[in-house]
């Protein structure tokens, strides 16, 4: 809570900054917690239900704490053509989660994202920002296995 309050201190106490504050909080914590909503509501003097409404209205905000490893599947044009849907299905089958979800152990989250900027490597994923390209099922399973086994030391 103290960390959130420190973060909020950089904002003018004007309700027009609520969305910016939510974005900043999510950048820092990876999601919007109940405490985050409460702190923002108190700081900007708006009802918590209003802040909750903003969070649920915009798809960019996440209410669930992300897993230790966030897998982002690129579904930009190049990756889409080269089988991004297949990659997503392979990951879903292997980990048991769909886009936007986190597994029960809190190890993996799966996001479907726009172009990651390395289209020549399509299809592409990133895990906590590290890019893996030219994926086929075998290569993908090897990557996931290594993350599971070594705790991300790939
Ligand atoms: S479309 Fe996937 S990296 Fe550009």
Per-residue pLDDT of 83-108, as tens digits, reads: 999 999 999 999 999 998 999 999 99
112 lines ligand 1 (CB under 6 A): no
Q: What is the pLDDT of residue 2?
A: 73
113 lines ligand 1 (CB under 6 A): no
Range of the domain at 102: 69-150
133 lines ligand 1 (CB under 6 A): no
78 lines ligand 1 (CB under 6 A): yes
Report, as an integer, the average pLDDT of 61-73. 93
How many domains does the chain contain in total? 2
Tell how far the Cα of 9 is from the centroid of ligand 1, in angstroms: 37
Query: What does the pLDDT look like over 113-141, one tens digit per residue?
Result: 999 999 999 999 999 999 999 999 999 99
**Domain match, 25 and 52 both:** yes
**Domain match, 77 and 12 both:** no
Separation CA 113–CA 75 (nearest Å): 6
Which tokens belong to 100? Answer: 């936007």
Would residue 26 count as lying in a domain? yes
Q: Cα–Cα distances in Å, from 9 out to 14, 23, 97?
A: 12, 15, 37
Separation CA 48–CA 54 (nearest Å): 10
Q: Which of 64-68, 145-149, 150-154 has the lowest mean pLDDT?
A: 150-154
Q: What is the pLDDT of residue 151?
A: 65
Specify the length of the chain in residues.
Answer: 154
**Domain match, 40 and 74 both:** no
Three-state DSSP class for residue 19: helix
Separation CA 83–CA 16 (nearest Å): 41
**Domain match, 74 and 118 both:** yes
**Domain match, 81 and 136 both:** yes
Strand order, beta sheet including 69-74: 108-113, 69-74, 125-127, 130-132
Question: Which ligand 1 atom lies nearest to the CA of residue 133?
Answer: 3
Cis peptide before 83 (omega within 30 of 0): no
37-69 burial: b if 16+ Cβ within 10 Å, else e? bebbbebbeeeeeebbebbeeeeebbeeebbeb
């Amino acid at each position: 809570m103290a960390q959130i309050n420190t973060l909020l201190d950089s904002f003018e106490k004007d309700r027009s900054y609520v969305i910016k504050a939510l974005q900043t909080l999510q950048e820092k914590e990876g999601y919007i917690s109940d405490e985050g909503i409460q702190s923002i509501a108190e700081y900007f003097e708006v009802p918590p239900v209003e802040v909750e409404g903003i969070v649920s209205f915009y798809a960019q905000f996440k209410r669930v704490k992300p897993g230790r490893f966030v897998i982002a599947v690129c579904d930009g044009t190049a990756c889409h053509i080269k089988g991004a849907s297949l990659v997503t299905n392979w990951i879903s089958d292997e980990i048991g989660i769909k886009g936007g979800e986190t597994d029960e152990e809190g190890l993996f989250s799966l996001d479907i994202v726009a172009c990651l900027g390395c289209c020549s490597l399509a299809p592409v994923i990133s895990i906590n920002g590290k890019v893996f390209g030219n994926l086929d099922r075998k290569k993908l399973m090897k990557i996931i296995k290594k993350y599971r086994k070594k705790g991300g030391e790939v």
